Structure 1
Amino acid sequence: MRAIGQDAFGGPEVLRVVEVERPEPGPAEVLVRVHAAGVNPTDVWHRASGGLAGKAIRLGWDLSGVVEAVGIGVTLFAPGDEVFGMPRQPLPAGTYAEYATSPARHLVRKPAGLSHVEAAALPLAALTAWQALVDTADVRAGQRVLIHAAAGGVGHLAVQIAKARGAYVIATASTGKVGFVRELGADEVIDYTQTDFAEAVRDVDVVIDTIGGEYGPRSLRTLRPGGIVVSLASPAEAQLAEVARAQGLRAGFMIVEADQAGMREVAALAEAGLLRARVDTVLPLELAAKAHEISESGRATGKIVLSVVD
């Protein structure tokens, strides 16, 4: 089968199409014929530096496709079922490929109303937003939520999930993306190129920080007592917790995990029309390097997806 591989760390140019043996599903696993695979910032990080693995891996965690075969002990799916999900994260999954295996319980059935491209754009980013907002911050109706980089892959889905939970959403975005974020349902949108959010926003219950750096400490200034900053940017943000505690606040760094229960919630929101990924760019599998170039440019609005089956 065709897959995307790399022999060294570096820029997008290290990615290339390789021929590898098609995997076989093990116990409690399924083999998926991948129709589309989402591209995420973590893919770029692993390509450039090895990321959490510390070594070159076959990239990709998002997939949408059709079950080709099932391993022993699988009762949830059968060949021919359309599925999507984020297998194995944070371990390597290798979904930039024509076929990928996954633990059966890391996948759910694809909503009939979504194409494979639309479905592949959801798992990692939507699960990140769900686990940050719901599992970590326990967002409830009426709470005030501040979402940074709200036009990005995680951010634009976090806006929709927070609104579906009944929250009042304040979002930051660049000038050209303010209108898009308003269309998502944000109650307030701050153009960060014109306004300092740390001066303009107060009494927030939850901050979702997808940027890191100075954004974490500055976001603490927007919280009400007991509020929380959930950082998704880098492990370095974990030290923010000590600063927050000293101020009667909370902060934590979160890594998204494979999560069938969360995927079922994501699928239900999509089925109800309450959650849609904005797909900025679709490229064929062999142009994975170009997809990474676009991702690193920071110009994409929403998600980038690799189409594996036309």
Structure 2
Amino acid sequence: MTRLGSGATFPAAEQCYCRGSVDREVLQVRSNVEVPDLKPNEVLVRTRAVSINSLDNRMRSGYGRSIFGSLLPLILGRDISGEVAAVGASVQKLSVGQEVFGALHPTAVRGTYTDYAILPEDDLTPKPKSLTHVEASAVPFAALTAWRALKSTARISEGQRLLVVGGGGAVGFAAIQLGVAAGCHVTTTCGSQSIGRLLAAGAEQAVDYIAEDVELAIKGKFDAVLDTIGVPEMERTSINFLKRGGHYMTLQGEAASLTDRYGLAIGLPAATATLLKKQMHYRYSHGIEYWWTYMRADLEGLIEIQKLCESGKLKIPVEKTFAITQVIEAHQAKDKKLILGKVVLEFD
């Protein structure tokens, strides 16, 4: 952790691959951690708010240990909203004092649960003026995850039909709004508590996956399916909803789990082989394209997300905020499912 005259402290994840529960041996608030010098393309951001993503909880429990295990302790966090405190020598689009928001790539080593975070210039853009820092911090990682699937992979366009499996989560909710903004006809599955919110966001149909038979409730074929859940049974069902030439995209790819299990040297080739096998199978059996999808920092996407936020077409609701010093309590609440919606950590 570091103090740069702000008086605020930030947490780092320590021994986060040792156990799955949140305790003070796994997640700690620490002070006086050095802030590295900026590279030419980097920006130092004074953090005002960061959101908790499922990736943070999973990393704390061991996910990604093949990459991060030797680098402990880690600073968790991917989303951020704050002000530019300093810029590297080659930074041109951002200036000191400017309010910004953005998100780090999933493999970034130094995260955003810190009073001063470092991000590449292309991972940031001006914060939407219509959003507070708390509201803005909830958007980038989830929205960029959905953006990569829908815009970079499936290349959705006006008039197409999109199915979002698990629309109640942050990525699913962002995908619905991105699909609606692109002029798509959007159908989603969700829990009963989310139906009204997803219909209000523009989904034409919201199916309760617990109370309804999804295969009977959903009619017609789709150009793209984004599966945020990744349950094998739902994957088999969702594949059958696609038109020939359609795109099935799941957030539950096996690359990280296989590399964690077998190490990078064996796990990464095994993951590639597994994906290729599935792609070939579905291409010949169903005539569709199959993808594992992940968040990727994308300046073009972030700029469009910023514009959609500004125009009121994209927003991720925040259910609860915690002070950054309460990060352990916040993670405990998410682990125990005491809070189902988005949680944000605020900095004083």
TM-score range for the pair, normalised by the shorter chain length = over 0.9
Q: Give the drift of 1:256.
A: 1.2
Aligned to 2:85: 68
Aligned to 1:116: 133
Aligned to 1:235: 254
Aligned equivalents of 1:164, 1:196: Cα separation in 2: 28
Aligned to 1:248: 287
Aligned length: 309
Match of 1:189 among 206, 216, 221: 206
Q: Give the drift of 1:291.
A: 2.3
Aligned sequence identity (%): 35
Say whether the 8 Å CA contact 1:4–1:15 is kept in structure 2: yes
Aligned equivalents of 1:242, 1:301: Cα separation in 2: 37
Output the amino acid matched with 2:228: T
Aligned equivalents of 2:334, 2:171: Cα separation in 1: 13
1:209 aligns with 2:227: yes
CA RMSD of aligned residues (A): 1.8
Which region of structure 1 is more displaced relative to structure 2, 291-300 or 224-233?
Answer: 291-300
TM-score normalised per structure 2: 0.84
Q: Give the drift of 1:84.
A: 0.6
Decide which structure has the larger Cα Rg and report it: 2
Say whether the 8 Å CA contact 1:159–1:185 is kept in structure 2: yes
Distance 1:23 1:35, change over 3 A: farther
TM-score normalised per structure 1: 0.94
Say whether the 8 Å CA contact 2:190–2:206 is kept in structure 1: yes
Match of 2:245 among 201, 218, 226: 226
Match of 2:299 among 247, 260, 269: 260
Match of 1:165 among 174, 182, 187: 182
Say whether the 8 Å CA contact 2:68–2:109 is kept in structure 1: no
Match of 2:343 among 291, 296, 304: 304
What residue ranges of structure 2 are gaps of 5+ in the alignment?
3-8, 256-273
Say whether the 8 Å CA contact 2:105–2:295 is kept in structure 1: no
1:80 aligns with 2:90: no
Aligned equivalents of 1:168, 1:98: Cα separation in 2: 41
Distance 1:298 1:208, change over 3 A: farther
Aligned equivalents of 1:208, 1:132: Cα separation in 2: 7
Aligned to 1:44: 57
Q: Give the drift of 1:301.
A: 4.8
What residue ranges of structure 1 are gaps of 5+ in the alignment?
none
Say whether the 8 Å CA contact 2:143–2:305 is kept in structure 1: yes
Q: Give the drift of 1:278.
A: 0.8
